[in-house]
Amino acid sequence: MSLRLRDFLQYDNIVIQCHDNPDADALASGFALLRYFEKAGKEAGFVYGGRNAVCKSNLILMIANLGIRVNHVEELKKPDLLITVDCQYGESNVTRFEAEKIAVIDHHQVSGDLPELSDVRSNYGSCSTVLYELLQQEDFDINSDENLATALYYGLMTDTGGFTEISHPSDRDLRDFVHPRNADITLFRNSNLSREELVIAGDALKHAHYFEERAYAIVEAKPCDPNILGIISDMLLEVDTVDACLVYSMMPFGIKISVRSCVREVKASELAAFITKGYGGGGGHLVKAGGLLKKDLLEAAGIGYDSDSVRHFLFERMRDYYENTEILYAGERIEDVSKLTHYTKKEVRVGYVECEKLAPYGTRIMIRTLEGDVDVEVREDLVILIGIEGEIYPTNRQKFNEGYRELPKEEYVCPVEYAPRVTDIATGNRMSLLPFAKPCVAAGGAGIYAKELDHRVKVFTVWDPDKYYLGVPGDYLAVRVDDPSDIYVIAREIFLKTYMKG
pLDDT at 416 over 90: no
d(CA 252, CA 243): 30
Q: Between 306 and 399, where is the model more confident?
A: 306
pLDDT on residue 372: 54
pLDDT at 418 over 60: no
How many CB atoms sit inside 10 A of residue 378's CB? 18
What's at 417, amino acid-wise?
A: E
Give the residue with greater pLDDT, 371 vs 6.
6
Q: What is the dihedral of CA 166, 167, 169, 174, to 10 degrees?
A: -10
Is the confidence at residue 94, as pLDDT, over 90?
yes
Q: What is the pLDDT of residue 113?
A: 85
Query: 226 or 12, which is more confident?
Result: 12
One CATH from 3.30.930.10, 3.10.310.30, 3.40.640.10, 3.40.50.12160 for 195-323? 3.10.310.30
451 versus 371: the higher-pLDDT residue is: 451
pLDDT value of residue 444: 66
As annotated, the residues of the chain forming the CATH 3.90.1640.10 domain(s) are 5-189
* pLDDT confidence of residue 424: 83
Q: Give the contacts of 120 (CB within 8 A, at least 6 positions apart).
A: 88, 104, 105, 106, 107, 108, 110, 114
353 pLDDT higher than 50: yes
pLDDT at 250 over 50: yes
Q: What is the per-residue pLDDT across 37-55, written as a single tens digit (0 to 9) for each?
A: 999 999 999 999 998 899 8
What are the b/e assignments for 206-244, b being 16+ CB within 10 Å?
eebebbeeebbbbbbbeebbbbbbbbbbbbbbeeeebbb
Q: Which residues lie across from 478 on neighbouring strands? A: 450, 488
CATH architecture of 5-189: Alpha-Beta Complex (3.90)
Confidence label for 165 from pLDDT (cuts 50, 70 and 90): low
pLDDT of 163 > 50? The answer is: yes
- Residue 356, pLDDT > 90, answer no
Per-range mean pLDDT, top range of 224-228, 276-280, 289-293 = 276-280
Mean pLDDT of 387-405: 86
User: 179-218 pLDDT, tens per residue?
Assistant: 999 999 999 988 877 888 889 999 999 999 999 999 999 9
Q: Whole-angstrom Cα distance, residue 215 to residue 231?
A: 19
What confidence score (pLDDT) does residue 466 get?
82
Q: Is 41 exposed, middle or buried (0-12, 13-18, 19+ CB in 10 A)?
A: exposed
* Higher-scoring residue by pLDDT: 321, 331: 321
Confidence of residue 1 (pLDDT cuts 50, 70, 90): very low
User: What percent of the chain has pLDDT above 70?
Assistant: 96
CATH 3.10.310.30 residue window(s) in the chain: 195-323
pLDDT score at 237: 93
Higher pLDDT, 193 or 312: 312
Q: Please state whether the predicted TM-score (pTM) of the whole model is above 0.75.
A: no
Average pLDDT of span 158-171: 76
pLDDT at position 32 is: 98
Q: Is the pLDDT of residue 78 over 60?
A: yes
Mean pLDDT of 89-117: 91
- Sheet of strand 373-377: strand arrangement: 373-377, 364-368, 421-424, 430-432
